[in-house]
Structure 1
Amino acid sequence: MYSFTKRLMDIILSLIAVIMFSPILVIIALLIKFDSKGPIVFKQKRPGINKKLFTIYKFRTMKIETPNVSTEKLGDPSRYITKLGLFLRKSSLDELPQLFNIMFGHMSIVGPRPALYNQDDLIELRDKHGINELKPGLTGYAQVMGRDNITDIEKVRYEEFYKKNMSLWLDIKIIWWTFKSVVKSEGVRVN
């Protein structure tokens, strides 16, 4: 019953969010076009449920000549992030296109954040603990417990806690905690 309710909640909430945020989506798209050369939406292959690759959508926050690696491997990422991109990342508005990933069934609102395809250590750790069996999420327990300020081992511990305690109530709490942290603009993601 939980998985049916979770999928139904994903569809309804993401559809409502797309409708509600559609003016913001259009404004961001226009601002990206004026800010820098390149596509509006950044697309990248990520391992999803059972490590099956899917295309994740984000608003582009980096210049088109940026190497395709996680931000922490860029050395000084500020030279690659666009002016608008810094704001979009800090506010998490760059994640809004993932609402379409949720509607298409590639992602859920709550689940482990999808790893980059080249984050081998994290993917291997997730394999050992069965985390890759879960649908990736727009937000997750590890996100609200430390985002990118925690190690991969800590992330997987939080994700394992989520896997063992998955419930509609826990999902609602994670969504609420995420909302609070986005409003406070806490931290900048690296992937």
Structure 2
Amino acid sequence: MRPRTVRARIATPDVDVPPRIDGGLLAASGRQLLAKRVLDVSLALPALVLLSPVLLAAACAIKLTSAGPVFYPQERIGRHGKPFRMFKLRSMRLDAESERSAYLHLNESTGPLFKIRRDPRVTPVGRILRSWSIDELPQLLNVIHGEMSLVGPRPPLPEECEHYGPLERQRLLVKPGITCIWQVSGRSDVPFAEQVRMDLEYIAGWDLRSDIRILLRTVPAVLGRRGAY
């Protein structure tokens, strides 16, 4: 199935049950999946080593400026709806989750997402970490463990999945990733419906070259910091 075909079918609003993707990553051979896994590990391991000074500096900054742990393990939903603990550097104050309901009226995202450009719960250090995506670096451990891939749809929160329909649930058919096509195309500035469309096009048209292209676009996207909040 070609990505342009998926785009046409996804863009049809009056379809009750969207067609299931049966090509691309879902039809990948064992050899292709092994190649994707080799790419993940061969890049994640050296990246973790090379970026360890950045992680150490960030950890010290978090510890010295706010109370609480350095790491924030968060439950996310992975392949086939299986929950797992995703690792992040803590960028919010400790009581952030309990305060969420107080800021729902400030939500700037569409669909089931919750994002505030200037979220008052984010610490000063956390704002810097988010701006440069440093808070996401511990997810390299999730990649090495096999829970995530370098490239794939971002893993949703459990409460987000509660609002998923048949179309959105197709994102859960593959292993989630650290980066994805909409992450390098605007990140949080991309509306939820467009995120879904982009993810499904990625899945339907996947080959190893698409992962490499997205990875090559990730570095300038991070440096550009568009939609990073």
TM over 0.5: yes
The corresponding residue for 1:134 is 174
**Cα distance, 1:187 vs. partner?**
1.8
Whether 2:35 is the aligned partner of 1:5: answer yes
Whether 2:52 is the aligned partner of 1:22: answer yes
Of 163, 170, 186, the match for 1:121: 163
Unaligned runs of 5+ in 1: none
**Cα distance, 1:79 vs. partner?**
2.1
The answer on whether the counterparts of 1:125 and 1:153 sit within 8 Å (CA) in structure 2 is no
**Cα distance, 1:151 vs. partner?**
2.3
60-69 or 89-98, which deviates more: 60-69
More strand by share: 1
Residue identity opposite 2:204 in structure 1 = K
The corresponding residue for 2:151 is 110
**Cα distance, 1:145 vs. partner?**
2.6
Q: Over aligned residues, Cα RMSD in angstroms?
A: 1.9
User: What secondary structure is seen at the aligned counterpart in 2 of 1:45?
Assistant: strand
Equivalents in 2 of 1:107, 1:163: separation in Å?
A: 15
Distance 1:124 1:150, change over 3 A: farther
Equivalent residues in 2 for 1:1-191 (5 A)?
A: 1-67=31-97, 73=104, 75=106, 78-119=119-160, 120-122=162-164, 125-127=167-169, 130-189=170-229
**Cα distance, 1:73 vs. partner?**
3.5
Residue identity opposite 1:109 in structure 2 = L
The answer on whether the counterparts of 2:151 and 2:177 sit within 8 Å (CA) in structure 1 is yes
Identity within the alignment, %: 35
Equivalents in 2 of 1:5, 1:175: separation in Å?
A: 15
- Residue-by-residue CA offset, 1:103-139 (whole Å, 9 max, x unaligned): 0001000000011111133475422xx2211100000
User: What secondary structure is seen at the aligned counterpart in 2 of 1:135?
Assistant: coil
Greater relative contact order structure (CA < 8 Å, 6+ sep): 2
User: What secondary structure is seen at the aligned counterpart in 1 of 2:96?
Assistant: coil
Larger radius of gyration: 2
Distance 1:74 1:61, change over 3 A: farther
Equivalents in 1 of 2:96, 2:46: separation in Å?
A: 33
Distance 1:185 1:150, change over 3 A: closer
Unaligned runs of 5+ in 2: 1-30, 107-115
Equivalents in 2 of 1:123, 1:21: separation in Å?
A: 38
User: What secondary structure is seen at the aligned counterpart in 2 of 1:55?
Assistant: strand
User: What secondary structure is seen at the aligned counterpart in 2 of 1:186?
Assistant: coil
Residue identity opposite 1:152 in structure 2 = F
